[in-house]
Each structure stands twice: as structure tokens, then as C-alpha cells.
Amino acid sequence: MAENADPLVLDLVEWIAREPRTYSEAIEAWRTSCPRLTIWEDAVDRGYVTREAIAGAGVKVRLTEAGEKFLRDNGRVS
């Protein structure tokens, strides 16, 4: 397992890898008001996920290469 992998960040990255997600869907599912629980922000800051504007489809969330590696390193295939 990767060094100190945050289980919730790992869950979020795996959830995004399962199927295409919109940004609004991801924020709705993973939003928190707790300043100590920054799952979405941590995943973005670590470069595991990114937002991409797609004409006519809005903003989509996708896994990055780093996110795919994070899943592989932690025994979760993307």
C-alpha cells in the first residue's frame, strides 16, 4: 500500500474511475462542511483527479495518470 494513503481519498478516486462523472455529481456526493475532512480538495491537490469542460456536456471529472497509479499502487485497478 502506498505511504499513508488516505482511505477516503482512495475511495473517491476509485468511485470516479468506475464511470464518467459530472463535476456537480462529484461535488454533491463528496462535499463536506468539515474543514478537517477535505477529500475532494486532497484528491485534486494531489493530482489524482481533474475537471474538464466539455462543450455541450458541462464539466466532467476524470482520473489522471497519477490517479490511475494511485489506484494500482493500492491494489485497486482503474
9-65: pLDDT as tens digits: 999 999 999 998 999 999 888 877 776 668 888 999 999 999 999 898 889 999 999
Report pLDDT for 3: 45
Q: Nearest to residue 44, comparing CAs of 27, 28, 25, 19?
A: 27
pLDDT score for 78: 57
Asked if residue 78 is part of any domain, the answer here is no
C-alpha–C-alpha distance, residues 44 and 23, integer Å = 12
What's the CA gap between 40 and 57, in Å, rounded?
A: 21
Residue 5 scores a pLDDT above 70: no
Q: Does any domain span residue 67?
A: yes
Full DSSP string of 54-72: ETTTEEEEEE-HHHHHHHH
- pTM of the predicted structure, to 2 decimals: 0.82
Q: Do the domain assignments include residue 20?
A: yes
* Total number of domains constituting the chain: 1
Position 2 in a domain = no
45 located within any domain = yes
> Is the residue at 1 inside a domain?
no
Give the per-residue pLDDT at 52.
92
User: Containing domain of residue 59, as a range?
Assistant: 7-73
